[in-house]
Amino acid sequence: MTKIRGLAALLVLSTLNLTLMVPGGFVETRSFPGYGVPVLASFNVFLTLLGLGSLVLAYRVLRTGRVGIYPALAGAAFMAVYLLDLATIFPVAAAPMSTTLARMEWIGAFLGLALLALGGGLAVAQGKRQAGSARLPLGLLIAMGVAAVAIVTFATLSAM
């Protein structure tokens, strides 16, 4: 497996791991009554953009073979999200974190670290070459937008 394919795989795995932890989903059963709708919705918008954006980055990296800094930034964002939750800094839930959720968050943090290291290393190695543009079809962009609204709405309502 080439480093480019490995980077794309890390982006997809990070997204899949995050997807399994959507509030109200398979693993995340905690509620966050101490937060208002704007805070929960903002956080869920961030997480949704991180997940969907990582899938777009994986596609772009595979299509163009060029990296840029964005995959490394995504890795840092994944790490920050998980480590802040594991340290009970944000978000703070009414119930404790399940063992399964904690394990998945540690896995996500390590995937984020690998993504940061590999993405950053490839970005430095490729130097000033700009990451190429690989446009998504309009229909797919619209579908992703609709999915993002549905995900944010579901996750926000489930977290309350």
Encode pLDDT of 109-138 as tens digits.
Answer: 999 999 999 999 999 988 765 555 667 777
Instruction: Reply yes or no on whether the pLDDT at 98 is more than 90.
Output: yes
Number of domains in the chain: 1
Instruction: Reply yes or no on whether the pLDDT at 6 is more than 80.
Output: yes
Residue the block writes with tokens 């961030």: 46
Phi, psi of 4 (to 5 degrees): -65, -45
Omega within 30 of 0 (cis) for the link into 137 = no
Task: List the structure tokens of 139.
Answer: 């229909």
pLDDT the model gives residue 108: 98
d(CA 102, CA 85): 9
pLDDT band (50, 70, 90) for residue 79: very high
pLDDT the model gives residue 25: 81
Cβ neighbours for 48, distance < 8 A, ≥ 6 positions apart: 148, 151, 152, 155
Q: Which residue has the higher pLDDT, 29 or 76?
A: 76
Residue the block writes with tokens 């394990």: 103
Integer-rounded Cα Rg, in Å, for the chain is 16
pTM: 0.88
Domain carrying residue 128: 3-159
